[in-house]
Amino acid sequence: MTKNDIADVLAEIGTLLELKGENPFKIRAYQTGARALEAIEEAELAVLIREERLKSVKGIGDALAQKIGELHTTGRLEFFETLRASIEPGLVEMLEVPGLGPKKIRALRDQLGLSTLVALAEACTDGRVAALAGFGEKSQQKILEGIRNREAYGRRHLWWDAHAVAEPIVAGLRALPQVMRAEAAGSLRRGMETVGDLDFIVAASDVAPVVDWFVTQPGVREITARGATKASVRFESGLQADLRLVPAEQFAFALHHFTGSKDHNVQMRQRALARGLSLSEWGLVSAEGEGTVKQKTETGGPASGAPHAVIDSEAALFAALGLHFIPPELREGLGEIEAAELAGGAGGLPRLIEPADLRGAFHNHTTASDGRNTLAEMTAAAEALGWEYLGIADHSKSSFQANGLSEERLAVQVAEIRALNASGRFRTHVFAGTECDILPDGRLDYDASVLATLDYVVASVHNAFTQSSADMTARIIRALEHPQVTMLGHATGRLLLRREGYALDLSKIIDAAIANRVVIELNASPWRLDLDWRHWRKAAARGLLCAINPDAHETGGLAHVRAGINSARKGWLTSDAVLNTRSLADVQAWLAARR
């Protein structure tokens, strides 16, 4: 286990102990141990364990050192497994409801005997929760709303999580000797921020072994369908996956159809009909066979009618309809077909940004605030990705819940960053920044004199989310007008599948950002992807500059830029519209001119 994996276990032990009502000092010991562990570099941890010196680290005593060593060596801890098994599952589920922590959950169990979300919802509905000390009507409504949202959101999954399931399945399918071609389709392939289920399209010479392999994948909880041309499974997470097997000559059509979206497919079929053709998942044929196509498609058979041409790829399919290839991310029925007209010469589709275009990122955290890896570890991880630069933007002092930096601690960090760059230890240059809180009245959390010591400033909202749209808009605009604000972080504050963004007039925010030469980030955290891709096409056309930032709180989080690239592509963004596709020298020059 890595140090962060172990820290997760320690933190969860603390939460479970709090649910059981254990001694507060014991609970705090695990929480402190988790934080202490995060402050140790990975290589140093291995040495401390090997030399039995871990207990010399402040915050880690004999008992914790033993448990950490066991987790590091074996990957499991019997104490943790026994503790987790002793907690009613419903109580752990309650932790996923916003506003419910271990203390409140324990009160609900002890005073009302509640141990499931169903029972909790009933108690909220009949007013019993509001009557408890420390709750009240507002808390009761928030809990009930959280339960309803959890149920509504539970049918979808973050793109990042779905991708983690799909990627090894696609690789495994392609490795099977019977498989000629295999791709993931659906909303996953289109890079949607959340995914309802997975679709896999496979061309295979012998389907039975492929189906057998698919339904026995790790994590499969249930086989919901199994046939000659289709199989469906449900994973432990609740994510459903469908496998569709087609002849090789139909692969391109099936892949296009099941990639979608519905609006894109409707427009493509209309375009085919206008040319005397009929397009379906089975092929592109003369429209004379349209009635037969409809009938056969509904019963699962191939289309009849005269085939238009040999089409063995999506590019060939688009070309047959007079179009340039349309990247999957753009297939939302939002003008991509008109832009892809071959008659337009080079076509109106942009050269969309690619993962390899990124040369660094600005919004990242370290153990100085609420990150889980040190400055050196984050820099080493950026260097391993081939990045030319890395921006460190730890939280400012008002974000006390995130261990925000005081002015004195920020000055120490800036000095450490300058020293690290001067040392030549890494090829990756580190920019000194901050994620500075935008206070409720629009002022910034640090004075201008403090901000002047930094390379850049990310301004973000972290509290007072319930302000009116007018107040929130005025608050953010005031911050954007501050001469030392470089970029706006996670503009709407949404958390996918957990909470909607706060109320604001986004068009006015974008206007202010453009007027004040402030970048708006596309926060690439899979839980945020904020600013939403639906706003970027028009905003970028008006001159808004984007920065794709992972908001990484650990080294692995740097990879989240991949999710941000999805959203940027869906927003029709090119590399020219994204600040962190520029070279180190160009970024340094841009920041200097901006200041």
> What is the per-residue pLDDT across 392-445, written as a single tens digit (0 to 9) for each?
999 999 999 999 999 999 999 999 999 999 999 999 999 999 999 999 999 999
369-405 pLDDT tens trace: 999 999 999 999 999 999 999 999 999 999 999 999 9
pLDDT band, residue 98 (cuts 50/70/90): confident
pLDDT band, residue 309 (cuts 50/70/90): low
On whether the CB atoms of residues 405 and 365 are closer than 8 A, the answer is no
pLDDT band, residue 152 (cuts 50/70/90): low
Q: Dihedral (C-alpha) 406, 412, 417, 420: value to the nearest 10 degrees?
A: -150
The one-letter amino acid code at 182 reads A
Q: In whole angstroms, what is the distance from residue 448 CA to residue 433 CA?
A: 13
What average pLDDT does the structure give for the chain?
92
- The predicted structure's pLDDT at residue 343: 62
SS3 labels along 495-536: ECCCECCCCCCHHHHHHHHHHCCCEEEEECCCCCCECCHHHH
484-515 pLDDT tens trace: 999 999 999 999 988 889 999 999 999 999 99
The one-letter amino acid code at 439 reads L
Q: Tokens for 92? A: 């752990």
User: What is the phi-psi region of residue 464: left when phi exceeds 0, alpha when psi lies from -120 to 50, beta otherwise?
Assistant: left
- Which class for 86: exposed (0-12), middle (13-18), buried (19 or more C-beta within 10 A)? exposed
242-299 pLDDT tens trace: 999 999 999 999 999 999 999 999 999 999 999 999 999 999 998 765 443 333 333 3
- The predicted structure's pLDDT at residue 181: 98
In the predicted structure, residue 184 carries a pLDDT above the cut 70: yes
Q: In whole angstroms, what is the distance from residue 217 CA to residue 83 CA?
A: 29
- Give residue 339's Cα distance to chain centre: 29
The one-letter amino acid code at 197 reads D
- Of 35-49, 201-215, 501-515, minimum mean pLDDT range: 35-49
Query: 162 vs 23, which has greater pLDDT?
Result: 162
DSSP letters of 187-254?
HHHTT-SEESEEEEEEEES-HHHHHHHHHT-TTEEEEEEE-SSEEEEEETTS-EEEEEEE-GGGHHHH
Query: 153 vs 448, which has greater pLDDT?
Result: 448
pLDDT band, residue 347 (cuts 50/70/90): low
What average pLDDT does the segment 223-232 reach?
A: 92
On whether the CB atoms of residues 548 and 522 are closer than 8 A, the answer is yes
What average pLDDT does the segment 557-579 reach?
A: 98
CATH numbers and ranges of domains, the chain = 3-152 (1.10.150.110), 157-246 (3.30.460.10), 250-344 (3.30.210.10), 355-594 (3.20.20.140)
- The predicted structure's pLDDT at residue 296: 35
- Of 12-26, 299-313, 366-380, 492-506, minimum mean pLDDT range: 299-313
| DSSP-assigned letter for residue 158 | E
